[in-house]
Amino acid sequence: MRNKIDKNFFLSSFFSSMPGVISILLSFLSIPIYLKYGGKEEYGNYLFLHFFSFIGTVLNFGLGKISAINISRNKEKDKTAIVLLYKTIKNSFIVLIIFFFLFISSNFIFTILTKKILLLILGIFFTVLFVTIEGIFQGKKLFFILMLVNLFFYGISLSLPPFFLFFFYLDNENLFIISLIIKFFIIIINFNYLFLNKKLNFFF
C-alpha cells in the first residue's frame, strides 16, 4: 500500500515538473530568436501580455484546486467535475463581461489600447477556464495527459510563436494572437478528450 502511494506521489511530481523543465529548455531557444529578430522592447511587451494573463489563475477563485481535491475524494467524480466546470464557465463569462464593460467605458483605453486590452481579456478568460480543467485532470489522476496539456498551454504557447520570426516579422500582439490560438485549441481538445472519451459523463 505504501509503495503504491509513493509511486503515485512520484509520478504526480514527475509529470507536474516536466512541463516546466521542457518550457525552460524551449525558452533557451526562443528568447535569442525573439531578441535577434524582434528586439528587446517587443520581447518585453510579449512577456507582459503573457504574464498579465496569469491574473486568470486568481480570477479562477480557487475552483481549480477545489476540483482536484473534491474529485479525488468524492465517489461521484463526474458530477463533481461537471458542476465545478459549469461554475468556472459561468465565472469566466462574468469576468469577461466585467472586463469588456470596463474596456468600452473608458474612452482613453478604447482609443489607445484597443487591441492589446482585448487580447489581455481573452488571455485571462482562457486561463480561468484552463485552471479548472487542469484541476479535473489532477483529481482524476490523469497525470500524463496533464503533463501534455500543461506543456502546450503554458510552455508551447509562449515559446513556439517567436519561431515564426524566422520567416516573417510579426509584432508582439500578433505573436500573442498565435499563443491565444494555441491555448484555444488546447481547451477545445481537453473538452473533447474529457467528454468524447467518457472521462467525464453527463449522465451520472
- Predicted structure pTM score: 0.79
Separation CA 37–CA 49 (nearest Å): 19
| 48 phi/psi in degrees, rounded to 5 | -60, -45
List the chain pLDDT tens, one digit each, 204 residues.
Answer: 445 545 555 556 666 667 667 777 888 888 888 988 888 899 999 998 898 888 888 888 777 777 777 777 766 666 677 777 777 877 777 777 777 666 666 555 455 456 787 888 889 989 988 998 888 888 877 888 888 888 899 999 999 999 999 888 899 999 999 999 999 999 999 888 877 765 555 444
Q: Give the total number of structural domains in the chain.
A: 1
By the 8 A CB rule, do 200 and 78 touch? yes
Separation CA 101–CA 95 (nearest Å): 10
Owner of C-alpha cell 480570477: 59
Separation CA 202–CA 183 (nearest Å): 24
By the 8 A CB rule, do 103 and 110 touch? yes
pLDDT of residue 203: 44
Residue 104 lies in a domain: yes
DSSP character string of 92-124: HHHHHHHHHHHHHH-HHHHHHSHHHHHHHHHHH
DSSP character string of 123-141: HHHHHHHHHHHHHHHHHTT
pLDDT of residue 161: 93
By the 8 A CB rule, do 130 and 187 touch? yes
By the 8 A CB rule, do 186 and 153 touch? yes
pLDDT of residue 12: 60
Residue 203 lies in a domain: no
Q: By 3-state DSSP, what share of the chain in percent is helix, strand and coil, each rounded to 5?
A: 85, 0, 15
| 137 phi/psi in degrees, rounded to 5 | -60, -40
139 contacts: CB under 8 Å, gap ≥ 6: 67, 68, 69, 70, 71, 72, 77, 80, 81
Distances (CA, A) of 19 to 24, 76, 105, 144: 9, 30, 39, 11
pLDDT of residue 204: 42
By the 8 A CB rule, do 50 and 123 touch? yes
Residue 201 lies in a domain: no
- What is the residue range of 16's domain? 2-196
Residue 128 lies in a domain: yes
Residue 202 lies in a domain: no
pLDDT of residue 104: 63
Separation CA 78–CA 80 (nearest Å): 5
